[in-house]
Amino acid sequence: MNLIRPVSDLRNNFAEISKTVHETAQPVFLTKNGYGNMVVLSMDAFQNMQFESDVYHKLLEAEREAEHTDKRYSSRDVLAAMKEVIGG
């Protein structure tokens, strides 16, 4: 369930909002004059969201590439390439 609060709460109840976003890893939506204004999110939650978005876009790119080529890689090929990049 979305937590929606007036933007003035950011000034008046900063510690409470900070505690909420860190404990729940969920965003707090702030409104101004009854309309959405901004979102507050912990750094960890933001980084996780950004990572998931990056992974999603890379998978989408791979799917598009797979539609245009017949070249396929086995799991053994992928693992060998990963080891080579990592240096192991």
Work out the angle at residue 61's Cα, subtended by the Cα atoms of residues 57 and 62, and round it to the nearest 5 degrees.
120
Taking only the tens place, the pLDDT of each residue in 32-82 is: 999 999 999 999 999 999 999 999 999 999 899 889 988 888 999 999 999
Q: How confident is the model at residue 87 (pLDDT cuts 50, 70, 90)?
A: confident
Name every residue whose Cβ is closer than 8 Å to that of residue 25 and which is 6 or more positions away in sequence: 42, 44, 45, 48
Q: How confident is the model at residue 88 (pLDDT cuts 50, 70, 90)?
A: low
